[in-house]
Structure 1
Amino acid sequence: MPRPLVALGTSDPLVVLRGLEAALAGGPALLPVAPDAPALPTPPPADVRQGVALVVETSGSTGTGKRVALSSEALLAGAAAADAALGGPGGWVLALPTHYIAGLNVLTRSITAGTEPAVVPPGHFDAAAFADAADRLVTGPAAPRRYTSLVPVQLARVLDDERATAALAGFDAVLVGGQATPAALRERALGVGVRVVTTYGASETSGGCVYDGTPLGTVRTALDDGELLLSGPMLAEGYLDDDRRTAAAFVERDNARWYRTGDAATLDDGRVQVLGRLDDVVISGGEKVQLGAVERLVRDLPGQDGAVVTRRSSGEWGEVPVVVTERPLDLDTVREHVGSALGRAARPTAVVLVERMPMLPTGKPDRRAVQALASD
């Protein structure tokens, strides 16, 4: 029997919260839609399969749009695994958009904990508004802990504000994900008493399912020719009305269902280190250069935790890495820093200084727009 799919705008996160509560309880499936999000090429269906509770639209930072279909069981399994890893349920400050899986996870975990999230007003993130929300957060005996979830750029802004930093240091855990967290930013946060937990996951895994490199209790990991595969009860049902893409991303292996992440990674005694997108590679002078590895090194430099490394065509080398940043950066310094770790071919050939980094509503860099800036 089909289940109605209800689209809700995300301008009021508490309306999305009520819609998600209904969906988890067996009511209409929920499709959160950002007011300013570009429409996908095809409209959503009016109905979905009975097993689907939540549909997350994602355009990605580089790929084409898709609608990820998640069941109640997957969402609740992810919430339970996270609570077990963090030390139990608690109250949450919501600082992320609720059309984004990490923001929806905050709502799911609030629902399962029986708490009401304290909401940072949607729109441009403001550290003072975050501190205000932290002041409003109410916890109780059944869920006494304090949590929030941020992307790296938000964490950096909080750390630039004394009052917001003091508030953040009072949380039991601060989940930071959505993209790689620069080591320097993490160390800066830990140095002022902020309990940072770096997360890795995707809409297809009901959000973060690897914390500080360690898979949550019900998560299995594997490598297939260097690509990270994830398995567990929090996997999505697939993509709405896209059997071809579903079959490519979700595969049967070792009597289990796995999600092909598209990320290059290493596994060391079960610990996951993500190296970057498999397709985010340039061939420079005949050598393969992983742009994610270059970007991590650039972000370790002082003041460069928001820098992005992209590609530019080169008549001599084919393609070359280019750094795009909001803060001045000496090219010779970055070339020496990267080259000493990754070799000559990985050295960026230019630094492009921009007034403001193009960003997606999720808080991630808009990599297509960044590449266009580098090409220009």
Structure 2
Amino acid sequence: MLAPVADDRAAQLIDAAVPVTEPDAAVIVTTSGSTGDPKQVVLSASAIRASASAFRQRYGAFSWTCVLGAQHVAGLMVQARDLLDRPYADGRTAISIVPTQLVRALREPSSAAELAAYDAVLVGGAAIRPALLDQAEAAGIAVLTSYGMSETCGGVAFDGSPLPGADIAIGDDGRIDIGGPMLFSGYRLDPEATAKVLVNGRLLTNDRGQWVIDDDGQRQLRVLGRIDDVIISGGVNVDLARLQRVLDARIDRPAVVVGVPDPEWGTRVVVATTSDEAVIGQWRDELRPYLEPAALPRQLLVVEAFPRTDSGKLDRRRLAEWAAQPGRS
């Protein structure tokens, strides 16, 4: 089966005249391209079954509602789990959404009530602010946070706990790497890109993480950001993911942080926002108690709306392109 692709840019990757040669290939999905060009991810039938079976082993069977497109791995896996879970057990229900959908649902009491009626609400595809999780809990929504990617058939860890069969490790450099039967077969027609991330049967991700111990004494995976979130500005390492967490926790305005090449600083820190309530000096003053000087933003980019990919993920690459345009502030 060849899954429909996300958009015209991704569609240009598909060459239907070239046969798919990967063993047991079942589906091709495209990555979102939010931080680079989209790739064709080849998923085998055995990997899809392994992922769906591992979820059922951990959480049991559900009757699933699909509101995500099947051209994206999250929507695809909802359908795979739904097929595996039939006949459904005890009438338990589940739905998979992205953080943007959760934000919008919480604005409408009727939508929030609909989500609260589900036994499990999987939320993944992007980082989730702690304040958003608190709002969902207050609304009675049983959120199950998901960590994974197209290359892992979607979620491999939920609420920080790896699924059965998912072997998650963290290297000395903080990089997360993953082994297990749910890994993808490779990037279609791109053996070089495949070789860079599939090493000795394990997936080397671009994510940084750490293990933490929860209140019950259980080890949980905490995702800290991407490897390329760490930039050098004025000769000092700046962790953009940490800066984003500070913004989310301390600033009561919508904000997204990106790094942009700069002739003086090497990379300058830019805060993009949809609010025009404050100038760059005020942002710096509000953040100064929580950040080292190099991490303070040097540019403020005001936009009407944050750009998003076809899958609903924040398009940081587009934001960086806008911020780099002459005269943007």
TM-score by length of 2: 0.88
Does 2:43 match 1:95?
no
3-state SS of 2:136 partner: helix
- Aligned equivalent of 1:258: 202
Does 2:265 match 1:299?
no
Separation (CA, whole Å) in 1 of partners of 2:89 and 2:134: 32
- Aligned equivalent of 1:124: none
Separation (CA, whole Å) in 1 of partners of 2:168 and 2:277: 38
Q: Which string of whole-angstrom CA distances, capped at 9 and with x for unpartnered residues, describes residues 18-40 of structure 1?
A: xxxxxxxxxxx333223655433
Separation (CA, whole Å) in 2 of partners of 1:107 and 1:197: 18
Any gaps of 5 or more consecutive residues in structure 1?
1-28, 115-139
Read off the aligned partner of 1:89 and give its amino acid letter.
A
Does 2:107 match 1:163?
no
Does 2:39 match 1:66?
yes
Return the offset for 1:333. Answer: 5.7
How do 1:219-368 and structure 2 match up within 5 A? 219-224=166-171, 225-252=173-200, 257-268=201-212, 270-301=219-250, 304=253, 307-328=255-276, 330=278, 331=280, 334-336=283-285, 338-368=287-317
Separation (CA, whole Å) in 1 of partners of 2:301 and 2:68: 28
3-state SS of 2:40 partner: strand
CA contact (8 A) 1:228 1:260 kept: yes
Return the offset for 1:320. Answer: 1.8
Separation (CA, whole Å) in 2 of partners of 1:70 and 1:38: 17
Structure 1 residues 339 and 208 mapped into 2: Cα distance closer, same or farther (>3 Å)? farther
Q: Which string of whole-angstrom CA distances, capped at 9 and with x for unpartnered residues, describes residues 265-291 of structure 1?
A: 222354222121112332111111122
3-state SS of 2:117 partner: coil
- Aligned equivalent of 1:375: 324
Q: Which string of whole-angstrom CA distances, capped at 9 and with x for unpartnered residues, describes residues 225-283 of structure 1?
A: 2211011111111112222221211111xxxx210011122223542221211123321
Separation (CA, whole Å) in 1 of partners of 2:268 and 2:209: 22
Separation (CA, whole Å) in 2 of partners of 1:370 and 1:280: 14
3-state SS of 1:89 partner: coil
3-state SS of 2:70 partner: coil
Read off the aligned partner of 1:344 and give its amino acid letter.
P
3-state SS of 2:182 partner: coil
3-state SS of 2:228 partner: coil
Separation (CA, whole Å) in 2 of partners of 1:63 and 1:35: 14
3-state SS of 2:33 partner: coil
**Could you tell me which of 53, 78, 81 is aligned with 1:106?**
78
Separation (CA, whole Å) in 1 of partners of 2:49 and 2:277: 44
Structure 1 residues 336 and 174 mapped into 2: Cα distance closer, same or farther (>3 Å)? farther
Separation (CA, whole Å) in 1 of partners of 2:99 and 2:277: 20
Structure 1 residues 36 and 160 mapped into 2: Cα distance closer, same or farther (>3 Å)? farther
TM-align CA RMSD? 2.2
Read off the aligned partner of 2:69 and give its amino acid letter.
P
Point out which structure has higher relative CO (alpha carbons under 8 A, 6+ apart).
2
Moved more, 65-74 or 150-159: 65-74
Read off the aligned partner of 1:93 and give its amino acid letter.
T
Q: Which string of whole-angstrom CA distances, capped at 9 and with x for unpartnered residues, describes residues 109-130 of structure 1?
A: 111123xxxxxxxxxxxxxxxx
Structure 1 residues 72 and 295 mapped into 2: Cα distance closer, same or farther (>3 Å)? same
CA contact (8 A) 1:221 1:228 kept: yes
Q: Which string of whole-angstrom CA distances, capped at 9 and with x for unpartnered residues, describes residues 161-185 of structure 1?
A: 0100111111111111111001111
Read off the aligned partner of 1:360 and give its amino acid letter.
T
Q: Which string of whole-angstrom CA distances, capped at 9 and with x for unpartnered residues, describes residues 304-347 of structure 1?
A: 4x632112344442222211122345445643554444422111
Separation (CA, whole Å) in 2 of partners of 1:141 and 1:91: 6
Return the offset for 1:301. Answer: 4.3
- Aligned equivalent of 2:216: none
Separation (CA, whole Å) in 2 of partners of 1:75 and 1:185: 30
Q: Which string of whole-angstrom CA distances, capped at 9 and with x for unpartnered residues, describes residues 145-201 of structure 1?
A: 111111111100000001001111111111111110011111111111111111111
- Aligned equivalent of 1:77: 50
Structure 1 residues 76 and 368 mapped into 2: Cα distance closer, same or farther (>3 Å)? same
3-state SS of 1:200 partner: strand
Does 2:54 match 1:54?
no
Separation (CA, whole Å) in 2 of partners of 1:284 and 1:35: 34
Separation (CA, whole Å) in 1 of partners of 2:323 and 2:67: 30
Structure 1 residues 96 and 336 mapped into 2: Cα distance closer, same or farther (>3 Å)? farther
- Aligned equivalent of 1:182: 129
Any gaps of 5 or more consecutive residues in structure 2?
214-218
CA contact (8 A) 2:165 2:180 kept: yes
- Aligned equivalent of 1:43: 15
Structure 1 residues 220 and 285 mapped into 2: Cα distance closer, same or farther (>3 Å)? same
Separation (CA, whole Å) in 2 of partners of 1:372 and 1:149: 31
